[in-house]
Amino acid sequence: MNLVKLGMAVLCLVTGLKISAQQKLTLPDSNNYIINDNVMIKTKYGITLSAVVVRKKDRPQKLPAALFYFIYSNTNRSLMEAKYAADHGYVGIVADARGKRLSPDAPVPYEHETHDVNAVIDWITKQSWSDGRVGMYGGSYSGFAQWAAAKHLHPALKTIVPYVAAIPGLGLPMENNVFLNANYQWAFYITNNKYTDDAINKDNARWRNMKFNWWYSGAAYNKIDSVDGTPNPWLQKWLSHPDYDAYWQSMVPYGKDFKQINIPVLSITGYYDDGQVSALEYLREHYRYNPSAEHYLIIGPYDHFGSQVGGVATLRNYEVDSNALINTREITFQWLDYILKGGKKPALLKDKINFEVMGANKWKHTPSLAQMEDYHIRFYLDSTANGMMLSEQKPSREVYMHQQVNLADRTSSYNDYYPDPIIKKEIERSNGLFFVTKPFSQAVSVSGALEGQLKAIINKKDMDVGLVLYEITPSGEYFQLSYYLGRASYAYDMSKRKLLKSGKLETIPFYRSRVFSRQLQKGSRLLLVLNIDKNPFAQINYGTGGDVSKETIKDAGTALQIKWSTLSFVELGFSADAKSLF
């Protein structure tokens, strides 16, 4: 099952970033730089943070600061990162999260960045070398930290450049209210010591065995650390918040908080970024509450790591278009120069949404995500005498398609959604429902999110749904485009669970999927796979309506019976030349 690679991909994420960054950056020397690698920042509320500051000796004037805030403490990397900023005309600052490196406090991931990052910014403005302006940048946790700071926007923070920015409680440790195993070891990795516990992070065999041992045991999800043999208090704390409640909402801007964020933002993410749903949630919510926001997006065929460097030539066996390869770091400092020094806007930013069309080897530029393509088609999940089809014609009458899932069975896994490799010779067809379009008579592009609504009648109170979208090429290969994973009971509001009613037709809307853009070949077809999520890589929702983390295999009861309505649909955006095809 391809999902087995999910955990390994995330496990290698941060380590890979460190290595790559060190290969491209160099350490500062004391002849040309003023270096302070043991800065201690004491906050007004009693905790102390550590930082590295690097300045060029030949630039004695007051300068804006380029701040990189991260939890993966590494002094050499901090020095190299700060030197790069100094070389580009800034005071380079890398600050460590609470409890990391030289900080005497305990590490506390996520919970205090809204205050701690702003404490660093406030300290910067009081230094003799500061001109009172700060720009932030960086990826993943560093991307999250920028948005956390923006929740209570400091007047000195003039811009942020978050790459693949995380939202705790939305991307990981759960996605659309489904807890995932991919980041299980992360809490140990960043809290076991003042730096990072690389040995535990790289113990792929341990984490793989843990997932499968838990899967076969049938134990409750909140006992997974017992299966591993090491208590995981952070996981247990997170599991106590299955709703996207005040605990998670306090960590980043939420709701009307976005209305007050009036600084320019440049977001960068990838079609195959594990945390893309988080990065794009920031963008959507920013524009929802602040329609005049100056928020730009760059998105292309990158994964979580690749987005932070600008892509790789071959991504999970897909030969990436040459024009898709960019230099994230260069674009970042072009942007900082544009905002803080009156420089030119990065050439790639021709509109608010800037995206590469896979297969066409070109970039397109639009004002919004909704306008990535000119023409939108609603495809119904139809069942005909010729099989299951994605049909642009609304069915003349509602028909139900049956699916049965034995949630206690461990001989098969359901919902093989993780895109590794991106191009497959064959896909798992032993379970799920498969809907396909007619072949396209000409090449067309399809772009945007996989979104729509499902209609179903089930015999339980809840279920976890998976959708995967492929292009079936004329040669018969499967090119994965997007996927969605979510809990049906949170479809309307991720902060409040609303159980399904057994035996009643329910409507389940969805949109937090992976945004993508692809030039479809002439003769290609689209394939949508609809399934229930049941595998070793996430919680198993047994449908009792109780706390999913406490359900065990004994709660499986009778098999999950689903009647999917043919009035279910997905909506996709196509290039204008596709209009003649429908």
The β-bridge relationship of strands 295-303 and 353-357 is parallel
Whether the per-residue pLDDT at 129 is higher than 80: the answer is yes
Strand partners, 470: 480, 527
The rounded Cα 189 to chain-centroid distance in angstroms is: 19
Which amino acid type is present at position 288? R
Strands (E) in 21-156, as ranges, are: 33-42, 48-56, 63-70, 91-96, 130-139
pLDDT at 24: 75
pLDDT at 384: 85
Structure tokens at 552: 């065990």
What's the burial of 213, exposed, middle or buried (CB within 10 Å: 0-12/13-18/19+)?
A: middle
Instruction: Give the C-alpha separation, 140 to 307, whole Å.
Output: 10
Q: Do residues 7 and 181 touch, judged by C-beta distance below 8 A?
A: yes
Secondary structure element (H or E) that encloses residue 441, with its range: none
Q: Do residues 42 and 68 touch, judged by C-beta distance below 8 A?
A: no
Strand partners, 40: 50
pLDDT digits (tens, 9 = 90+) for 403-454: 999 999 999 999 999 999 999 999 999 999 999 999 999 999 999 999 999 9
Tell me which DSSP letter residue 229 carries: T
3-state DSSP assignment of residue 545: coil
Strand partners, 527: 436, 470
Q: What is the longest distance spanned by two Cα atoms in the chain? A: 79
Which of 510, 515, 484 shows the shortest CA–CA distance to 357? 515
pLDDT at 576: 86
Which amino acid type is present at position 117? V
Q: Which of 4-8, 304-308, 335-339, 418-422 has the lowest mean pLDDT?
A: 4-8
pLDDT at 261: 98
In this structure, which long-range contacts are made by residues 195-199, counting pairs with CB atoms below 8 Å and at least 24 apart in sequence?
195/73, 195/74, 195/100, 195/101, 196/14, 196/72, 196/73, 196/74, 198/15
Helix, strand and coil percent figures for the chain, each rounded to 5: 25, 30, 40
Q: Do residues 392 and 554 touch, judged by C-beta distance below 8 A?
A: no
Which residues are CB-neighbours of 238 under 8 A, at least 6 positions away? 169, 173, 174, 179
pLDDT digits (tens, 9 = 90+) for 540-555: 999 999 999 999 999 9
Percent of the chain's residues with pLDDT above 70: 96
**What residue ranges define each of the domains in the chain, with the CATH number in brackets?**
4-370 (3.40.50.1820), 375-581 (2.60.120.260)
The CA-CA-CA angle for residues 100, 101, 103, to 5°, reads: 65
pLDDT at 313: 97
Whether the per-residue pLDDT at 37 is higher than 60: the answer is yes
Q: Do residues 478 and 424 touch, judged by C-beta distance below 8 A?
A: yes
Instruction: Please report which confidence band the pLDDT of residue 8 belongs to, taking 50, 70 and 90 as the band edges.
Output: very low
Secondary structure element (H or E) that encloses residue 17, with its range: helix 13-24
pLDDT digits (tens, 9 = 90+) for 482-529: 999 999 999 999 999 999 999 999 999 999 999 999 999 999 999 999
Instruction: Please report which confidence band the pLDDT of residue 530 belongs to, taking 50, 70 and 90 as the band edges.
Output: very high
Q: Do residues 443 and 521 touch, judged by C-beta distance below 8 A?
A: yes
Phi-psi region of 503 (alpha: psi -120 to 50; beta: other; left: phi over 0): left
Rounded average pLDDT over 122-139: 98
Instruction: Give the C-alpha separation, 11 to 7, whole Å.
Output: 6
Secondary structure element (H or E) that encloses residue 72, with its range: none
Whether the per-residue pLDDT at 11 is higher than 80: the answer is no
C-beta neighbour count of 218 within 10 angstroms: 14
Instruction: Please report which confidence band the pLDDT of residue 578 belongs to, taking 50, 70 and 90 as the band edges.
Output: confident
pLDDT digits (tens, 9 = 90+) for 43-63: 999 999 999 999 999 998 999
Whether the per-residue pLDDT at 10 is higher than 50: the answer is no
Instruction: Give the C-alpha separation, 246 to 304, whole Å.
Output: 27
pLDDT digits (tens, 9 = 90+) for 134-187: 999 999 999 999 999 999 999 999 999 999 999 999 989 999 999 999 999 999
Q: Which residues of 440-452 are buried (b: 16+ CB within 10 A; e: fewer)?
A: beebbbbbbbbbb
Whether the per-residue pLDDT at 188 is higher than 50: the answer is yes
pLDDT digits (tens, 9 = 90+) for 211-253: 999 999 999 999 999 999 999 999 999 999 999 999 999 999 9
pLDDT digits (tens, 9 = 90+) for 306-335: 999 999 999 999 999 999 999 999 999 999
pLDDT at 579: 79
pLDDT at 112: 98
Q: Do residues 79 and 25 touch, judged by C-beta distance below 8 A?
A: no
